[in-house]
Amino acid sequence: MSTKRVITYAEAINEALREEMKADPNVILLGEDIGAYGGVFKVTKGLLDEFGSDRVIDTPISETGFTGAGIGAAMTGMKPVVEIMWVDFTLVAMDQILNQAAKMTYMSGGQTKVPLVIRTQGGGGRGNAAQHSQSLETMFAHVPGLKVVVPSTPYDAKGLLKSSIREECPVIFIEHKMLYNQKGEVPSEEYFIPLGQADIKREGKDVTIVSLSRMVHFCLDAARELQNEGIEAEVIDLRTLVPLDLELVKKSVQKTHRLVIVHEATRSYGWGAEVAARIQEEAFDELDAPVLRVGAEDVPIPYNLNLEKEMLPQVRDIVDAARNALYLSV
């Protein structure tokens, strides 16, 4: 019997970590202030007490060092979940992530497994400025060898993190700082969500809107506004960028014949371009309008909240794009 509960995104992630640590003694956590402090977003709260300092390991501020240590430990039998406090800080550790973790299996001809999860959080919305607000998922998706997970709800976050920890290749798991307190239904029974399965968050027949992470909620708000005008938008949450569930997007486009892609990352060279390209390659005849993209302006993220809001995609932008895709005047 499924028990309905409502918990936050942060609590859901915490549960996933706790369950996987209980299930497998090789699962360890590494990161800055994840132990006694419980993580800056309190995601690892209580885990030190439950599992001890051998498994919940506080690190110095040394992202390259401890990320690489996670890789080395993964190669030799552990299943580390490394927390990099802000996705912006992954840039400090990029050699270890992109040159080492991503390529080990291939370079060794399949000998090496790197069952490593890098948990981090990104996104703007609270004035954290240019080095603490980015959406960098495309960078990781661009390098073969990494899986990239970008969940939007507590339910997805928990199920996807549990699956990520059971992967045998490195997974970049990007949470969103503005979602940690967002609540959602999460069953108390154990469940997993396989990587590579997008999810229809709202069904509709007139226009397909594809997104992930926090922007999914903006898209749902936009869909409600569109509904008032008699437009039924279908909102698809990709949930994982790698593997990419293009099939579900294609299926939706076969129904709606119109596609809008929404991401919080800067528009140019974002994953929206990839999805747009793939859809026109594989479903060109289904399209009744050009594929449109909504993304952040191509600038570093400003500190000032008004400017930040101006820079990041807003519900209005999504509504306008959907109307454009339907050739309605904006």
Distance CA(157)–CA(155), nearest Å, equals 6
Task: Show contacts of 46-52: CB within 8 Å, 24+ apart.
Answer: 46/14, 46/18, 47/14, 47/17, 47/18, 47/21, 50/18, 50/21, 51/21
Choose between 174 and 244: whose C-beta lies nearer to other proteins: 244
Q: CA-to-CA distance for 234 and 226, rounded, in angstroms? A: 11
Q: Binding other proteins by CB under 8 A: which of 42, 45, 89, 112?
A: 112
Is position 203 annotated as part of the catalytic site? no
Which stretch, 12-20, 71-79, 226-234, 265-273, contacts other proteins (CB under 8 A)?
A: 71-79
| Rounded Cα distance, 148 and 297, in Å | 23
Tally: H helices and E strands in the chain: 12, 14
CB atoms closer than 10 angstroms to residue 189: 8
Near other proteins by CB under 8 A, which window of 14-22, 56-64, 129-137, 202-210?
56-64
Compute the distance between CA of residue 188 and CA of residue 143 in angstroms, rounded to an integer.
36
132 included as an active-site residue: yes
Contact between 234 and 202 under an 8 Å Cβ cutoff? The reply is yes
Are 154 and 186 in contact, with CB atoms under 8 Å apart?
Answer: yes
Cα-based angle 195, 130, 179 (whole degrees, multiple of 5): 40
Q: Does 168 bind other proteins (CB under 8 A)?
A: yes
Min. distance of Cβ 154 from other proteins in angstroms? 25
Minimum distance of other proteins from residue 114's CB (angstroms) = 8
Binder to other proteins among 5, 18, 42, 113 (CB under 8 A)?
113
- Eight-state DSSP code of residue 292: E
- The residue (of 73 and 81) whose beta carbon lies closer to other proteins is 73
- Among 11, 15, 20, 132, which one carries the catalytic annotation? 132
Q: Considering only residues 278-317, where is the footprint of other proteins by CB under 8 A?
A: none
77: CB partners within 8 A, 6+ apart: 26
Q: Nearest distance from residue 99's CB to other proteins, in Å?
A: 5
- For the bound state, the minimum distance from the C-beta of residue 26 to other proteins, rounded and expressed in Å, comes to 9
Which string of x and - marks every residue 72-111 that binds other proteins (by CB under 8 A)? Answer: xxxxxxx-x--------------xx--xx---xxxxxxxx
Tell which one of 16, 47, 71, 311 touches other proteins (CB under 8 A). Answer: 71
* Closer CB to other proteins, 185 or 247, in the complex: 247
Q: Which residues are catalytic?
A: 63, 132
- Contact residues toward other proteins (CB under 8 A) are 28, 54-55, 57, 59-60, 62, 64-78, 80, 95-96, 99-100, 104-115, 144-145, 147, 167-169, 196, 243
